[in-house]
Amino acid sequence: MIIKASQRAGATRLADHLMNDWDNDHITLHELRGFIASDLNGALREAEMCAKGTKCQQYLFSCSFNPPKDEDASVNDLVEAVERAESALGLNGQPRAIVIHEKEGRRHAHAVWSRIDAAEMKAVNMSHFKRKLQKLSKELFLDHEWELPQGHQHLGGASPDNFTLDQWQQAQRLGLDPREIKWHFRDAWAQSDDRKSFAAALASKGYRLAKGDRRGFVAVDIYGTVYSVPKWLALKTREVKARLGSPEGLQSVDEASKALRSKVTDRLLAFIDQSDQ
């Protein structure tokens, strides 16, 4: 789910913007929590008045939650995303408003929190909120099994055997979410219709299609990890064979691993030359 956020002031302007039905077919004020007012304008004005007892200028925190263009999200999906964002940002229990917009049958949501802790009369610190929301955004894409934008893919979706030196060093520090591995296989499957195109799609993501010990289809990565293709696609073996045919003619796991290691060795030798220079 695409999440955009900002700290801001301008209570009346924001309320008018969120409740403007000019650009949307339908608008629902889904929730007001922690406010006395029963309308959005009044609620955000309360946050503004509360902030006057502090030095905080940007007393509101506003988030939009958009599913991918070709996907749909239910109201429950959107509210769950808001809840998870609230927890990640440390805004638990702060006064909150949720507005649901619907246009051409697709929904998206806006959430606005008051940053002012009324008991302490100070603002909630929003440090590193972009990084926290970027992480949550990727988790939501993976949870819903939506196509990952390139910016969310591990190291931009590049195949490890084409990494630069900086990417190799970064790869040592970053782990790969198993849900993303699953997405790699599903995406390769979706864009292929035979063994050749499936192998090419996997190769672009850093895997080599091979023949397993039991004559089934497996994939190998540059670290020598073996992945059962049917398992990671959540398909029956016969469904995979129906599209890919026989694994005969493919390299064995050992041969595929050696071939990938050879490519990696050549790449690392080039890195050594760069360092020497």
116 Cβ neighbours under 8 A, 6+ residues apart: 47, 50, 51, 54, 56, 59, 94, 122, 123, 124
* Predicted pLDDT of residue 180: 80
Say whether pLDDT at 160 is over 80.
no
Q: Could you report the per-residue pLDDT of 167-198, keeping only the tens digit for each? A: 455 444 445 677 788 888 999 999 999 999 99
Q: What is the mean pLDDT of the chain?
A: 87
What span, in angstroms and rounded, lies between the C-alpha atoms of 81 and 69?
17
Q: Where are the domains of the chain?
A: 2-146, 152-276
- Whole-angstrom Cα distance, residue 97 to residue 19? 12
The whole-number pLDDT of residue 197 equals: 95
Pinpoint the alpha helices (H) of 70-194.
75-89, 129-143, 165-173, 178-190
Burial of 249 (0-12, 13-18, 19+ CB in 10 A): exposed
Q: What angle (nearest 5°) sits at the alpha carbon of residue 206, between those of residues 199 and 230?
A: 50
Model pLDDT, residue 173:
46
Look at the pTM and tell me if it is higher than 0.75: no
Task: Write down the pLDDT at residue 252.
Answer: 93
CB 226 within 8 A of CB 180: no
Tell me the fold of 2-146: BirA Bifunctional Protein; domain 2 (3.30.930)
The answer to whether 14 touches 112, Cβ cutoff 8 Å, is yes
Confidence (pLDDT) at 170: 45
pLDDT at residue 129, rounded to an integer? 96
**Token representation of residue 116:** 């002012």
pLDDT in tens, 112-139: 999 999 989 999 999 999 999 999 999 9
The pLDDT value recorded for residue 42 is 97
Under 8 Å CB-to-CB from 254, ≥6 apart: which residues?
none
